[in-house]
Amino acid sequence: MFGAIEEKLKNSEKIVFVTGAGISQESGIPTFRGKEGLWRKYDPMKLATIDAFYDDPKLVWEWYEDRRRNMLAAEPNPGHKAIAELEEYTKVVVLTQNIDGFHQKAGSTNVLELHGSIIRIKCTVCDFKDEIHSRFEKFPPRCKCGEILRPDVVWFGEALPQDVWSEAITHANSCDVMIIVGTSLAVSPANTLPIYAKQNNALLIEVNPESTIMSADMDLSLKITSANALPHLVSIFKRLT
């Protein structure tokens, strides 16, 4: 299955992964879209926009707290672990849309969180930012400055952190291989990263049981789950090196 790409993988100096909610699905974390996606049960515009937050901060906070607890109770799966293990063989950069921290927990050392992190908070007004250290007594929690705190995640319609995004483009522009895992490629601008890689003639591989809007543009589209596909990739590297 991986035969055609072995040569390119063998000579690659940098592999960039672009990951989305699907890579954490086998850790028990629901995706947004696709089968069993969260958006089939909730309306994102009521929960993941700044307008929704100001309309009902308590509701949005309770939803995030529920998700945060589920994420903290879950563990990275063989897909995350395979990406971390790949660092033994080549330079690896992970550009993730996920907010769950599983790549770092699995041992990846070069992770850019494009959409922030569910374990961090920030003030809606001042520049206070921190990790969440304990349970909140009341929702919405308040900053020392008196204003409302919010999860440090990027909501629909918000800009990505500029420094993180420009570093992500630099990596996408300069990789030999980009492996796109578990993302519907429906969310902009993260969904433009494969285009930057293509401009550098990188090999594009997609791992997703379902087709996406870019499946036809891939050099290889593996329609299997990431916990199945990614450990194979590491075994190829073990054999090649």
Report the residue number, 190 or 202, with the smaller CB distance to ligand NAD.
190
Q: Is 31 a residue that touches ligand NAD (CB under 6 A)? A: yes
Report the residue number, 23 or 202, with the smaller CB distance to ligand NAD.
23
DSSP for 110-135? -EEETTEEEEEEEESSS--EEE--S-
Question: Exposed, middle or buried: residue 36 (CB in 10 Å: 0-12, 13-18, 19+)?
Answer: exposed
Q: What six digits make up the tokens of 18?
A: 């672009």
211: Cα within 13 Å, side-chain hemisphere: 4
Q: Is 208 a residue that touches ligand NAD (CB under 6 A)? A: yes
**Single-letter amino acid code for the residue at 228:** N
Q: Is 145 a residue that touches ligand NAD (CB under 6 A)? A: no
Q: Is 117 a residue that touches ligand NAD (CB under 6 A)? A: no
Q: Is 25 a residue that touches ligand NAD (CB under 6 A)? A: yes
Of 115, 133, 171, 232, the active-site residue reads 115
Stretch that binds ligand NAD, among 55-63, 128-136, 162-170, 201-209 (CB under 6 A): 201-209
Among 12, 104, 108, 226, binds ligand NAD (CB under 6 A): 226
Q: Could you confirm whether 115 is annotated as catalytic?
A: yes
Whole-number Å distance between alpha carbons of 170 and 108: 19
Neighbouring C-beta atoms of residue 2, cutoff 10 Å: 14
Query: What is the sign of the dihedral through the CA atoms of 43, 155, 193 and 36?
Result: negative
Residues belonging to the active site: 115
> Can you give the binding site for ligand NAD, defined by CB under 6 A?
20-26, 29, 31-34, 37, 97-100, 115, 181-184, 186-187, 207-210, 212, 225-226
